[in-house]
Amino acid sequence: MISQVWDEKRFNQYLLDTYGFELKDYLDVQSNRYCILHSKSLNMQSHSDGDGDLVQLTTLPGAYLQKLVKEFKLSNVTDRMLAWDENFLHDEWSSIEKLNWKTPYKVYYCNAEFNKPGDCSYPDLLTNSAMAKNAVGPGTNQAWVFGMIAELYNGLRKQQSEDARLAFRDGKFLSLTDAEFQAADHIYTETVERYVINAIKHIMGGAMQHEKFLLKNLGENKGNLQNVVKTITNEMHYTKREAMTIITLAIWANTNELIDLASAFLKMHNKGEVDVVDLNNPETFKWFELLVEHSFFGRMIKPVFEIHKIAEGLIDINGNDSDVSEIEVSDVL
């Protein structure tokens, strides 16, 4: 989603022309100079419903990059993807219409003492709420992780890399088009929102039915695999091939320990937690470098990673590979 960001002068002129007052009449400009104001519509279009969710904003400096962004067209977006997005927005905006304003408030009583899970006592309700809140973040993160995994596998497949061969499928490659990989990313995102995020918000008695849809669990056993496929095909009305594409990518990623690595990568990217990735481990370093090369979030930090490699002597100042056989890779990024 691309939106235009106004500077202080343009926003000030808009306020003057539209409402007759200046920005300084609305807030302390100096104290808020590092803040960005955005509309409710931007919040909603980002699938952030305004109850504390974060909206990631990325700005590109310079007239040339701004021109590229303005002309950018997102490819491989199907009508079904757009319809799902619009339905989500409609549900969020229309939720107030479901309220019956004539219904009086009703007081509900609950026991103060806990007897067993699911007894709707105060400790039970409080525990369910805490479990849900604690699980929403990691649940949402699953969609981001899968997107990185799909991009990584697609990039390796195009290069016919041995790392993309599926050991559990006789060493074959997963043959899909770019559009099919993007569709898989969308379908899993929709699955996460429907059966992970929404389910987490309604956890009762410690039931964790959403866990079967988490990436590490998709191919955990035959029963779980069949349940996930049935959900995606029977309830979401996608094809078995599309469901199995998601599960195959998850199994491949889990086999190579990429789910944990991609999760750690996002912590580093989003929160600056550099210690979560151990670049001293050669296998970790290898896959980290591939994530940087092939994923969207990876490419965003590629210049920083190149500086890191130069500092560690992994490449020379001209970008040529150094002899790294005797070099210990530091985890300082």
Whether 4 contacts 11, CB under 8 Å: no
Q: Helices 222-230 and 240-255 meet at what angle, rounded to 10?
A: 140
Whether 317 contacts 289, CB under 8 Å: no
Residue 328 confidence (pLDDT): 34
Residue 272 confidence (pLDDT): 75
Residue 6 confidence (pLDDT): 83
Residue 331 confidence (pLDDT): 31
Six-digit token string for 130? 């805490």
CA distance 238 to 245: 11
Residue 167 confidence (pLDDT): 87
Whether 44 contacts 92, CB under 8 Å: yes
Residue 160 confidence (pLDDT): 94
What's the farthest any 2 CA atoms get from each other in the chain?
Answer: 75
CA distance 41 to 27: 21
pLDDT tens, per residue, the chain with 333 residues: 667 778 889 999 999 999 999 999 988 888 888 887 777 777 666 666 555 556 666 677 778 887 887 787 777 788 888 888 888 777 777 777 777 777 777 888 888 888 887 788 888 888 877 777 777 778 788 999 999 999 999 999 999 999 999 988 889 999 899 989 999 999 999 999 888 887 776 655 444 677 889 899 988 888 889 999 999 999 999 999 999 999 999 999 999 999 999 999 888 877 777 778 888 888 999 999 999 999 988 888 888 888 878 877 776 656 555 443 333 333 322
pTM of the model: 0.72
Whether 36 contacts 5, CB under 8 Å: yes
Whether 293 contacts 264, CB under 8 Å: no
Six-digit token string for 237? 């009305």
Residue 29 confidence (pLDDT): 87
Whether 253 contacts 262, CB under 8 Å: yes
Read off the amino acid at residue 41: S
- Provide the 8-state DSSP code for 34: T
Interval 190-203: pLDDT, tens: 999 888 887 776 65
Six-digit token string for 75? 């490819």
